[in-house]
Chains A and B, each alone.
Chain A
């Protein structure tokens, strides 16, 4: 059957089981929008800014594990989308971004709304395509989905010139993809896995360090099984939260720049470290030269060979799908006959409990100003630990990571790698659409929320009942904190002046607004908001302006060199 390029594009998306396309129309994609108008296979969500389209598709992808789809026009459409694409790239989120392009005969002539989309996005996509021939269109979209969702996932851009969308061609959606230059499935090396099992069994001060790869690879059940089988302490990175249940006693909290004292100390003092789907990022291990590399043996499992030995040399590298490798490891550990050094493990736990007893996350619970940590704790209680939580970037993000105890993967939706302010609200839209009826909270701050606040309009149009937890301290809190610690209290441009009345703002978009100023009102307000099942509630919490995130590892230091709350 002959279809136009626009119809082929839409049919391909339906073929891939796409439920939502987040987008914004414009000249170069008008044919595609016309084809969307005539179909009912998926729902199009009209955002108010292209950055939000990509973040929403990203939130959808993170919470479901499926590929998110965004559709934008050429020129400013795609440049606006770049922040969203880079956000997804840094966190390895599977996305397809379809961008319109000027017609093939106009490419390179500085046409209206022309930009080199493939060139601009090249450094922040897993791969991208410019479709120059309608014959290639369906196969290209098939490849794009395949590349985005396999191996280490990532965003893939498909740039489609307008004339391609109006030409007609016989539509056949390829059943399979065969690419000689791309091999997604890697099975871990058997010999290396054996070596790793042996090393784990001999460990006296073991530590399991698990990252976003465990969430992306759907390997949380394996991680939990292995950790419990071994009885080892486990930490999750910011991206890995929820992969190991935070309420479990073997969980020592998040590690890194704002990780717990016990997690960072255990990392630094372990003798065998099992890194799973994590990449020894600078915010996680601090400076590699202070990482006490010689003191311990490291096993590193990752699907991406380039993540291994990038910042830290490892002893047992295992390239492979984390779930499959962990399955193998579990089998070997179960079959092992050698007695383990239980005494050493128990001494190690005693030491860890000592670190844990420091209670590094303590804060003033009797303050008569709202403490942001308390808001998150109560959010956790009110939602029974079962909400999907998106965030923006800064102090509120760290408090959410520290105080909301995620027991399941894919509940914690945050921009970890790129650190994109403005991510939280649009991401929450994508999550809520994917999870109808579930509690979705966007934890944000008064600075971050203003970066994509126009999406309150989208939420109104599609009745997306998310709950916005705005920790309003009238500062770009994390910037202010760094200025307090490292810049002699010179608060250069970190005060958010002339803030809107968020209650009225929410109301003007047709939502419910609440302003909460007293600690004793926090819980009741949260209960009231979450009881409003079908409404978006914007909760403006007026919090302590001077509160800081602790512990904190100063930039470039080793992770055991933490600044703790009482030291100031």
Chain B
């Protein structure tokens, strides 16, 4: 099962490597990991997307909780939540591809944010699956470069991760 785990941790040097080190040392899988400061400058918020059986996920959550720098943790997949990821894709856009790329960007509600005679750079936001679908939908030969932020997530409604 794919799980999105959100955590608040002390905004200290080395905190990120404690989390990353835990995953590699114990053989847990990381699909994506994103981290940035919060409105409280002493805290960072991290979103980890991982896969594993229920037992493995339970261990991951417990082991993360054990890290001294981790203040609070929430398995977003335990309840309803919103997931978003940002992707930038640079595609070849000349000849017949130019119109096609514009059309595909529109269909996926992407925005073209950089244009040259031969390329477009498309910005796309959504759950990971939507970004995957976009990549699937276009001709792999036109993709020049992709960059993804990894997922960020937040609970719906009253589900709040805050100290």
Contact = CB atoms under 8 A, between A and B. Distances in A.
Given A123-B25, A306-B59, A181 B13 contact: no
15 contacts: A123-B21, A123-B25, A126-B68, A147-B68, A180-B71, A180-B163, A181-B69, A181-B70, A305-B66, A306-B59, A306-B62, A306-B65, A309-B55, A309-B59, A313-B55
B104 to A, nearest CB: 44
Interface residues of A, number: 19
Contacts of A179: 68
Interface string B38-73: 000000000000000001001100110110111100
A132 B13 CA distance: 11
A182 to B, nearest CB: 5
Contacts of A187: none
Interface of B: 9-10, 13-14, 17-18, 21, 25, 55, 58-59, 62-63, 65-66, 68-71, 163
A182 B17 CA distance: 18
A310 interface: yes
Contacts of B69: 181
Contacts, number: 38
A130 B14 contact: yes
Interface in A303-360: 304-306, 309-310, 313
Contacts of B25: 123
A153 to B, nearest CB: 13
Contacts of B10: 181
Given A305-B62, A306-B59, A310-B59, A118 B68 contact: no
Contacts of B62: 305-306
A313 B62 CA distance: 15
A438 interface: no
Closest 5 CB pairs of A and B: A306-B62, A181-B71, A127-B68, A305-B62, A123-B25
A119 interface: yes
A194 interface: no
Nearest to B70: A181
Given A306-B62, A309-B55, 15 more contacts: A119-B17, A122-B21, A126-B68, A127-B68, A130-B14, A132-B13, A147-B68, A179-B68, A180-B71, A181-B9, A181-B10, A181-B69, A306-B63, A309-B58, A309-B59
Contacts of B55: 309, 313
Interface string A468-489: 0000000000000000000000
Given A306-B62, A309-B55, A122 B17 contact: yes
Contact of B66 (A119, A132, A304): A304
Interface of A: 118-119, 122-123, 126-127, 130, 132, 147, 179-182, 304-306, 309-310, 313
Given A130-B13, A306-B63, A182 B68 contact: yes
Contacts of B63: 306
Residue among A147, A304, A306 with most chain B CB within 10 A: A306
A118 B69 CA distance: 14
A250 B70 CA distance: 43
Contacts of B70: 181
B40 to A, nearest CB: 11
A133 B19 CA distance: 24
Given A306-B62, A309-B58, A181 B17 contact: no
A180 B8 CA distance: 11
A181 B18 CA distance: 14
Contacts of B66: 304-306
Contacts of B21: 122-123
Contacts of B71: 180-181
Nearest to A181: B71
A302 to B, nearest CB: 11
Nearest to A122: B21
A455 B14 CA distance: 35
Nearest to B21: A122
A305 B65 contact: yes
A179 B9 CA distance: 12
Contacts of A130: 13-14
B14 A118 contact: yes
Nearest to B60: A306
Nearest to A143: B68
A310 B61 CA distance: 12
Nearest to A308: B62
Contacts of A122: 14, 17-18, 21
Contacts of A310: 59
Contacts of A304: 66
Contacts of A118: 14
Contacts of A180: 71, 163
Contacts of A127: 68
Nearest to B25: A123
A147 to B, nearest CB: 6
A330 B55 CA distance: 31
Contacts of A126: 68
Contacts of A313: 55
Nearest to A183: B65
A181 B68 contact: yes
B45 to A, nearest CB: 14
Contacts of B59: 306, 309-310
Nearest to A179: B68
Nearest to A305: B62
A281 to B, nearest CB: 15
B41 to A, nearest CB: 15
A118 B65 CA distance: 20
A517 B30 CA distance: 58
A129 to B, nearest CB: 9
Contacts of A309: 55, 58-59
Contacts of A182: 68
A122 B14 CA distance: 10
Contacts of A147: 68
A464 B11 CA distance: 46
A181 B58 CA distance: 19
Name, among B62, B63, B66, B68, the residue most crowded by chain A CB atoms within 10 Å (CB to CB).
Answer: B68
Contacts of A119: 17
A304 B67 CA distance: 12
B125 to A, nearest CB: 32
A304 B66 CA distance: 8
A310 B55 CA distance: 8
B58 to A, nearest CB: 6
A101 to B, nearest CB: 14
B109 to A, nearest CB: 39
A123 B67 CA distance: 11
A130 B18 CA distance: 14
A177 to B, nearest CB: 12
